[in-house]
């Protein structure tokens, strides 16, 4: 029976790198039952790359994808990017036996402008074609900002219809926050989604401000209650999202939780794992 591989988006556990190192962090992931990761927000130092490679080989962990910006998110922002560090990024992918790169978000310099966004997309699609020559596929990860409409069409759909080399890593939480049904939206991207982010969506508690009533303070509290939940602890139809992704060509299903609200990230990943096993995906944790 066709199945995917469930893993961890490493931004969820980025703080563990300082504590345990790359090798120790992936060892702990394997001990939790995870044998797939997506590398994001982890400095790609020689030490970290070597640690991830060693752990992947020793513990049977698949490096599904690495991350790289196309160019600096803001002028002068530090960090590797494909425009300036192409050879190094490709070499890291080869070292980790990884054939996918993903762009984590729309550059801040392009947000709010259809023209700037499309200029970026054109450059990204050209980069995707260049990466294909090295056996690496490039994917774009959405947030909610791509659900702005221009002439009645979502920016994310405009991006999809303006590219032919670049694929998409859809994030079910951000689709929901963008106002769409994740299951139905995933179906629209059939054939272009090897990666899917599993991130649940939860309405939290309104933290009522103390003291005299102030309309602005209240509205800030009232409109800021959406939370990132452990998979299965929120309101999203997780099983239906997974099945839609699988039918559309998704191979890797990465758990990401931007904030665990004080809970240890490994404990959050254990909760997500247990809920997914209960949903019938126990065998999706093994290579």
Q: What is the pLDDT of residue 78?
A: 82
Query: How many residues does this entry show for the chain?
Result: 287
**Beta partners for 9?**
38
Q: Which residue has the higher pLDDT, 18 or 210?
A: 18
DSSP state, residue 230: -
The confidence band for 184, taking pLDDT boundaries of 50, 70 and 90, is very high
**Beta partners for 81?**
69
Average pLDDT, the chain: 96
Q: What is the pLDDT of residue 165?
A: 98
Q: Which of 35-49, 152-166, 209-223 has the lowest mean pLDDT?
A: 209-223
Whether residue 213 has pLDDT greater than 90 = no
For residue 4, the SS3 value is coil
Whether residue 238 has pLDDT greater than 80 = yes
For residue 126, the SS3 value is helix
The confidence band for 75, taking pLDDT boundaries of 50, 70 and 90, is confident
Q: What is the pLDDT of residue 76?
A: 78
DSSP state, residue 145: G
Handedness of CA 71, 107, 36, 11 (dihedral sign): positive
Q: Which of 247, 256, 202 is nearest to 227 (CA)?
A: 202
Mean pLDDT for the stretch of residues 245-251:
98
Convert the pLDDT of each residue in 109-127 to its tens digit.
999 999 999 999 999 999 9
Q: What is the pLDDT of residue 79?
A: 84
Whether residue 67 has pLDDT greater than 90 = yes
Q: Measured between alpha carbons, how far is 96 from 52 in angstroms, rounded to an integer?
A: 8
Q: What is the pLDDT of residue 210?
A: 85
Q: Measured between alpha carbons, how far is 66 from 83 in angstroms, rounded to an integer?
A: 16
Q: What is the pLDDT of residue 65?
A: 98
The confidence band for 23, taking pLDDT boundaries of 50, 70 and 90, is very high
Q: What is the pLDDT of residue 167?
A: 98
Q: What is the pLDDT of residue 211?
A: 84
Q: Measured between alpha carbons, how far is 245 from 8 in angstroms, rounded to an integer?
A: 17
The confidence band for 287, taking pLDDT boundaries of 50, 70 and 90, is confident
Phi, psi (rounded to 5 degrees) for 103: -90, 120
Tokens 């899917």 identify what position?
Answer: 196
Whether residue 209 has pLDDT greater than 90 = no
Q: Measured between alpha carbons, how far is 25 from 39 in angstroms, rounded to an integer?
A: 12
Rounded to two decimals, what is the model's pTM? 0.96
Whether residue 48 has pLDDT greater than 90 = yes
Q: What is the pLDDT of residue 212?
A: 85
For residue 63, the SS3 value is strand
Q: What is the pLDDT of residue 145?
A: 96
Q: How far is CA 101 from the centre of its chain?
A: 11
The confidence band for 33, taking pLDDT boundaries of 50, 70 and 90, is very high
Whether residue 152 has pLDDT greater than 90 = yes
The structure tokens listed for 241 are 């999202």
Whether residue 74 has pLDDT greater than 90 = no
The confidence band for 77, taking pLDDT boundaries of 50, 70 and 90, is confident
Determine whether 239 is exposed, middle or buried from the number of CB atoms within 10 Å of its CB (0-12, 13-18, 19+). Answer: middle
Mean pLDDT for the stretch of residues 5-15:
98
């Amino acid at each position: 029976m066709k199945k995917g591989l469930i893993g961890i988006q490493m931004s969820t556990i980025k703080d563990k790198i300082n504590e345990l190192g790359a090798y120790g962090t992936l060892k702990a992931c394997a001990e939790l039952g995870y044998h797939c990761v997506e590398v994001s927000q982890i400095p790609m130092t020689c030490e970290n790359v070597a640690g991830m490679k060693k752990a992947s080989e020793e513990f049977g962990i698949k490096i599904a994808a690495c991350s790289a910006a196309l160019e600096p998110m803001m002028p002068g922002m530090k960090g590797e990017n494909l425009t300036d560090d192409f050879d190094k990024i490709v070499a890291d992918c080869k070292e980790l036996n990884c054939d996918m790169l993903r762009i984590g978000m729309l550059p801040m310099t392009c947000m709010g402008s259809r023209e700037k966004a499309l200029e970026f997309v054109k450059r990204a699609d050209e980069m995707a074609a260049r990466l294909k020559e090295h056996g690496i596929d490039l994917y774009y990860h959405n947030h909610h900002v791509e659900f702005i409409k221009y002439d009645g069409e979502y920016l994310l759909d405009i991006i999809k219809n303006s590219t032919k080399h670049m694929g998409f890593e859809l994030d079910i939480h951000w689709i929901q926050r963008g106002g769409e049904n994740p299951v139905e939206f995933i179906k629209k991207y059939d054939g272009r989604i090897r990666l899917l982010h599993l991130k649940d969506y939860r309405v939290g508690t309104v933290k009522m401000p103390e003291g005299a009533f102030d309309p602005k303070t209240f509205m800030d509290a009232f409109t800021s209650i959406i939370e990132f939940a452990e998979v299965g602890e929120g309101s999203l139809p997780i099983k239906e999202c997974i099945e839609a992704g699988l039918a559309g060509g998704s191979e890797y299903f990465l758990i990401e939780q931007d904030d665990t609200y004080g809970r240890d990230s490994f404990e959050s990943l254990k909760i997500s794992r247990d809920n997914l096993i209960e949903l019938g995906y126990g065998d999706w944790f093994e290579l």
